[in-house]
Amino acid sequence: MPDAERDLVSGVIQLANLLTRRLGPIFERAKVTPQQWSILSMLAESESSMTLASIARKMMVSKQNMTGMMVRLEQLGLAERHDDPKDLRSSRVQLTRRGRALVDKLRPAYQEWRGRLGRDLPEREIAALTRTVDRLIAELEQQA
């Protein structure tokens, strides 16, 4: 099928797959995936520990999927969970010192890669695409 006839959903899935594949080399020496990087950077930007459920919502994955990713990050010594004293059914997650150091080490390479992404496109097109993606995400969240 010619590119002009590609439907939106297929194109977005292909873009997500390609982004993940191209990001992989930045993180592979640290043995983390691009998805795990998203969690680590989210935790690094948070002023306090976060619940697994809130991370899952922001990542738009199931709590079960998030639990599996968190187990791997704990095995790598990058994140740790502890019980939430306000809600015994919940646990809170934070970076370990090792996790914080890894984020600090990898962030410049990620930012450099991100800076090259779309550099040949006008800024207004990138901004319009970002707004459109945000609107599609919001629409899909309302359907759930």
Per-residue pLDDT of the chain (144 residues; tens, 9 = 90+): 455 567 888 988 999 999 999 999 999 888 899 999 999 999 999 988 899 989 999 999 998 999 999 999 999 999 999 887 777 777 889 999 999 999 999 999 999 998 898 889 998 998 999 999 999 989 988 886
CA geometry: angle 76, 58, 131, nearest 5 deg: 130
pTM reported for the whole predicted model = 0.83
CA distance 58 to 46: 12
Q: How far is CA 24 from the centre of its chain?
A: 13
What domains does the chain contain, in order, with CATH numbers? 1-102 (1.10.10.10)
Tell me the DSSP string of 78-127.
Answer: SEEEEEETTEEEEEEEEE-HHHHHHHHHHHHHHHHHHHHTTTTS-HHHHH
**What are all long-range contacts of 3-8, with beta carbons under 8 Å and residues at least 24 apart?**
none
CA distance 113 to 96: 25
Going by C-beta distance under 8 Å and a sequence separation of 6 or more, which residues neighbour residue 9?
A: none
